[in-house]
Amino acid sequence: MAQNENLADLSAAGVAVWLDDLSRDRIRSGNLQSLVDGHSVVGVTTNPTIFAAAISGSESYDDQLHALAVREVSVEEALRTITGADVRDACDLLAPIAERQPGDGRVSLEVAPGLAHDTDATAAEAAHLWWLVDRTNLYIKIPATEAGLPAIQTSIRRGISVNVTLIFSPDRYRKVMDAYLTGLEERLADDADADLSGIASVASFFVSRVDSEIDKRLDAAGADAALKSKAGVANAQLAYQAYEEVFSSDRWKALESHGARPQRPLWASTGVKNPELPDTLYISELIAPGTVNTMPEKTLKAYADHGTPGTPVQKAYDDATSVMQAVRDAGVDLDDVFKVLEDEGVQKFVDSWDELTESVRTELEDKK
């Protein structure tokens, strides 16, 4: 099957196209394979909200749920068995890509969001999920909370590949990159001859949620309407500037000599939430080498149909700096924005996890 031209061009520009969705139905129907074959998809991300939608109302899980109910396993064990099975199957489907393109061909599985502020528990569950799925092309998703940062560092030191999620500010992103590099350095300190090439990481920088929160505050401040829906892209562009700085440093080059791979920026939350915006905005304006863009299928198909490249990220740094300064000058407290977004992001995933847990509990009781 020929690849879609718009998405093939995006890949050629250095943007890895990932799908932000997964379900057993998608795998079994051949839909995921068709997106790989025709839409340049080379990775998959998941989160509790995605799994809650996947399992709810689908008959594809009935046999496994029945077997788990008969065995009288706990809800927590059943939940991890079910989601782990889907992720493992997706890893197997994408394995040929991972062999050709290390760092891609990956599927992400998130630690329980309720652990977001518990360093030790997060690191322990990351290790457990890594063992449970048992695929080298897995990413364990760990939130970039203050408690999450040392868990990321520990996981990298243990050789676990990590997708760091819920990053909203360039400042927090710099701490994420430092945790990654420190983890690699600690692994080398444990074994001076260690080959670091088997460890991969991406840093999921959220985009559309930033616009939603800042636009609300700009309206409340009576700011110039021309500022609206500009900060999400500008904020991400400045994150990429930080990425270029860190991964051209002498510190990085020392690790690179041992086979280390850069921690690529991943643009997340790329479906537009404001219907007045172009539906491909957060793809077109975030094209840069060595990045990942994870998209809902609707956004993926929109770019395939009518996406066009915008200003390359590396040419936008001055304008991005001006936009963020104008937002501050309009009275928006960016530190508070990023804190609110992180707190809300964790809570949204906790709510989805609770919904998923309750759904599985109900299914187990029905299947006894």
Average pLDDT of the residues in 11-19: 98
Average pLDDT of the residues in 20-34: 97
Residue 109 and residue 84 in contact, taking contact as beta carbons nearer than 8 Å: yes
Instruction: Look up 141 and say whether it is catalytic.
Output: yes
pLDDT at res. 218 = 98
Picking from 37, 30, 44, the residue whose alpha carbon sits closest to that of residue 7 is 37
Whether the pLDDT of residue 368 is over 80: the answer is: no
Range of the structural domain that residue 326 is part of: 5-367
Whether the pLDDT of residue 314 is over 90: the answer is: yes
Domain holding 39: CATH number? 3.20.20.70
Neighbours of 220 (CB within 10 A): 10
The helix/strand/coil state of 171 is helix
- 221: tokens are 């401040």
pLDDT at res. 106 = 98
Average pLDDT of the residues in 181-201: 95
pLDDT at res. 359 = 85
Whether the pLDDT of residue 284 is over 80: the answer is: yes
- Give the number of domains in the chain: 1
Average pLDDT of the residues in 4-8: 97
According to DSSP, residue 111 is labeled P
The one catalytic residue among 141, 228, 253, 339? 141
* Confidence class for position 231, pLDDT limits 50, 70, 90: very high
First to last CA, the chain: 44
* Confidence class for position 236, pLDDT limits 50, 70, 90: very high
pLDDT digit string (tens) for 150-181? Answer: 999 999 999 999 999 999 999 999 999 999 99
pLDDT at res. 153 = 98
pLDDT at res. 364 = 87
pLDDT at res. 17 = 98
* Confidence class for position 219, pLDDT limits 50, 70, 90: very high
303 vs 88: CA distance, rounded Å = 28
* Confidence class for position 302, pLDDT limits 50, 70, 90: very high
Whether the pLDDT of residue 199 is over 90: the answer is: yes
The strand ranges marked E within the chain are: 15-19, 41-44, 106-110, 138-143, 162-167, 201-206, 264-268, 291-295
* Confidence class for position 26, pLDDT limits 50, 70, 90: very high
Whether the pLDDT of residue 14 is over 80: the answer is: yes
Query: DSSP letters along 7-57, please?
Result: HHHHHHTTEEEEES---HHHHHTTHHHHHHHHH-EEEE---HHHHHHHHTT
- pLDDT averaged over the chain? 96
pLDDT at res. 216 = 97
Determine what percent of the chain falls in helix, strand and coil, rounding each to the nearest 5. 60, 10, 25
pLDDT digit string (tens) for 84-125? Answer: 999 999 999 999 999 999 899 999 999 999 999 999 999 999
Quote the percentage of the chain above a pLDDT of 70: 100
